[in-house]
Structures are given as structure tokens and as C-alpha cells.
């Protein structure tokens, strides 16, 4: 399965590619990429190229039914047959959620008789808080699925989205915007902290800053919030704190430490 860093990098690059495509198609630079399926395709392609190269036995599915995906998280062992099937609550009140879908899912075909879901990626073209929280809630449900005698195979659940800030001007104010967004989404992510996984927030600038500080410039930022299984490199500490990190040669990046949020 892909390393979490590689997967996060791929999501950021895919969101930037979606913005570039929308810019070229519409000749409007300062708008988020839309419709959402453009992001789904560009992020999936980026995952193929940057996170899954050389990894044998993986498949990528787009718009997979969320209830079927939930069952594939608990696909090992294949026998006895999983019954009753797990259920993921709908993001909409009054709906069973049977028709809801996951934007991108990565499956391990070597896990057993039935391919096991190992990573999911949800994408948003809007930063409306209620929609983000609904997707984070569903990602949390998937990461916390359990059944006696079975191990949840899902390693990573990610949410990627784009924020447009049209109030700041110039590269200098951009760094303030990034820090402000880090604080904002740290508070949102704290509501989903769990001993079952590590919570991380990665923030990058999509639009390159101008050479002249006074040039007209709108900051477009990609943000990825991930839940991932603990490892020696990324253990769940006693405080269950939200981690911040970001490294990539493909995008402008910002790294925010816990001290910056104090």
C-alpha cells in the first residue's frame, strides 16, 4: 500500500492539476476547480502516477458504493462469510445511505479472496464546514469499523478540498493565510481525534505567488485531512494531537508545528 506521505502528495498535486485544467478551460484563474468530478479524475490519475507506481496488486475504484466498500474493509478473513454486513450512516438525514459513494478507493487484491479496501479519498470543491464535517464523520466511521475475529484493513482515509481566499493580496499575506487556515482546520480536526488512528493536516498553496508583492493575487490553497493507522514513524501520542506536515517538490508547501498553534 502507498505510504501516507506519497498519498497526501498525490492528492495535493491532483487538486492543483484540477485547478490548472479549470483555468485553461474557462480562462478564469481565481476560482476553485469544478465540477467535482474533474478533481476526482485528476486526483485518481495523480495517485496512479505518484503513489502506486511499482506497487503490485492494487486497484483504484471511482465512485464506489459506500456500503460495499465498508464490507471490503472487513474482507479478511473471507470465511466465515461476513454477516450482517456493516452499515455506514448516511450523510443526509432521513436517508439510508445506500446510494452514497466514495470518490476514490484503493483496494489490495492480494489480501484474500475478496479485495480489501486499504485507502479512501473524499474530495470537495467547497469548504462549507457542514459538508467537510459530514465527510470526516464518514471517514471516521470507516476507520473505526470492527467485527470480532476480523481486522479492519483500511489504513488511510483522506479528505481533500480547496479554499479560495480573495481578501489577501501578495505573497507576504499568503503566509498569514496559511497559518490562519492551519489553526481553523486544526480545530475542526480535533473533533475527530481517536486512539484508533493518527490525525494529520497538510496545507499547500495551489496558485504560485506573484514576483511583485503588490500584484493582484488570489490565494488558492489545497488542504488534506487524513486519518491513518499508527506506525513507529507516526504513533498516536498520549495527547492525541493533530499533526501538521507537508513536503513536496511539486507544490508550494507550508509546515506548521504545534508551537505555531499555541
pLDDT in tens, 184-217: 998 999 999 888 898 999 999 887 666 666 666 7
What is the C-alpha separation between 173 and 213, in angstroms, rounded?
9
At 98 the pLDDT is 67
Q: What is the percent of the chain with per-residue pLDDT over 70, rounded to a whole number? A: 76
Residue 201's pLDDT is what? 92
- Which residue from 3, 118, 115, 109 is spatially nearest to 51, judged by alpha carbons? 3
Half-sphere exposure of 260 (CA within 13 A, CB side): 18
Asked if residues 52 and 43 have their Cβ atoms less than 8 Å apart, the reply is no
Burial track 109-128 (b if 16+ CB lie within 10 A, e otherwise): eebeebbbbbbbbbbbbebe
- Judge whether residue 3 has pLDDT over 50: yes
> What value does the mean pLDDT take over residues 33-48?
93
Whole-structure pTM value: 0.85
Contacts 24+ apart (CB under 8 A), 109-113: 109/57, 109/58, 109/59, 110/56, 110/57, 111/75, 111/76, 111/153, 112/75, 112/76, 112/77, 112/78, 113/75, 113/78
pLDDT in tens, 221-259: 999 999 999 865 555 543 345 555 443 333 333 333 333
Tens digit of each residue's pLDDT (9 = 90 or more) over 106-131: 999 987 778 899 999 999 988 999 99
- Please give the Cα distance from 125 to 160 (Å, whole number): 9
The 10 Å CB-count burial string (b at 16+, else e) for 187-198 is ebbeebbeeebb
Q: Quick check: 8 and 224 in contact, CB under 8 A?
A: yes
Contacts with 126 (C-beta within 8 Å, 6 or more apart), sequence order: 32, 161
Which residue range forms the structural domain that includes residue 27? Answer: 4-261
The number of domains in the chain is 1
| Burial 78-105, CB ≥16 within 10 A → b, else e | eeeebeeebebebbeeeeebeebbbbbb
Say yes or no to pLDDT of 178 above 50. yes
**H-type alpha helices, 89-195:** 129-143, 170-190
CB-count exposure of residue 201 (10 Å: 0-12, 13-18, 19+): buried
The answer to whether 2 and 119 have CB atoms below 8 angstroms apart is yes
Q: What is the pLDDT of residue 238?
A: 35
The neighbour count for residue 144, using CB atoms within 10 Å, is 14
| Residue 172 pLDDT exceeds 90 | no
Q: Are 136 and 224 in contact (CB under 8 A)?
A: no
CA–CA gap between residue 223 and residue 132 (Å, rounded): 11
Tell which residue, 74, 66, 131, has the closest CA to residue 105: 66
Least confident window among 50-54, 68-72, 92-96, 100-104: 92-96
CA 76, 82, 85 angle in degrees (round to 5)?
120
Cβ atoms of 72 and 115 closer than 8 Å: yes
Amino acid at each position: 500500500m502507498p505510504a501516507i506521505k506519497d498519498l497526501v502528495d498525490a492528492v495535493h498535486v491532483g487538486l492543483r492539476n484540477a485547478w490548472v485544467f479549470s483555468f485553461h478551460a474557462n480562462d478564469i484563474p481565481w476560482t476553485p476547480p469544478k465540477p467535482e468530478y474533474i478533481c476526482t479524475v485528476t486526483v485518481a490519475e495523480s495517485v496512479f502516477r505518484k503513489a502506486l507506481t511499482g506497487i503490485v496488486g492494487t486497484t483504484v475504484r471511482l465512485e464506489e458504493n459506500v456500503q460495499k466498500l465498508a464490507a471490503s474493509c472487513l474482507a479478511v478473513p473471507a470465511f466465515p462469510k461476513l454477516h450482517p454486513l456493516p452499515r455506514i450512516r448516511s450523510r443526509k438525514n432521513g436517508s439510508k445511505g445506500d446510494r452514497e459513494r466514495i470518490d476514490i478507493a484503493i483496494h489490495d487484491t492480494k489480501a484474500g479472496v475478496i479485495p480489501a479496501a486499504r485507502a479512501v479519498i473524499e474530495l470537495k470543491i467547497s469548504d462549507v464546514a457542514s459538508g467537510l464535517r459530514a465527510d470526516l464523520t464518514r471517514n471516521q466511521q470507516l476507520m473505526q469499523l470492527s467485527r470480532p475475529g476480523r481486522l479492519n484493513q483500511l489504513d488511510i482515509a483522506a479528505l481533500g478540498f480547496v479554499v479560495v481566499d480573495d481578501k489577501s493580496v501578495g505573497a507576504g499575506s499568503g503566509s498569514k493565510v496559511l497559518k490562519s487556515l492551519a489553526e481553523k482546520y486544526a480545530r475542526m480536526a480535533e473533533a475527530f481525534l481517536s486512539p484508533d488512528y493518527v490525525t494529520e493536516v497538510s496545507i499547500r498553496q495551489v496558485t504560485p505567488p506573484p514576483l511583485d508583492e503588490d500584484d493582484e493575487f488570489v490565494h488558492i490553497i489545497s488542504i488534506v485531512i487524513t486519518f491513518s493507522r499508527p506506525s513507529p514513524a507516526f504513533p498516536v501520542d498520549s495527547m492525541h494531537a493533530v499533526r501538521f506536515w507537508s513536503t513536496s517538490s511539486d507544490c508550494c508547501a507550508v509546515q506548521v508545528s504545534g508551537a505555531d498553534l499555541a
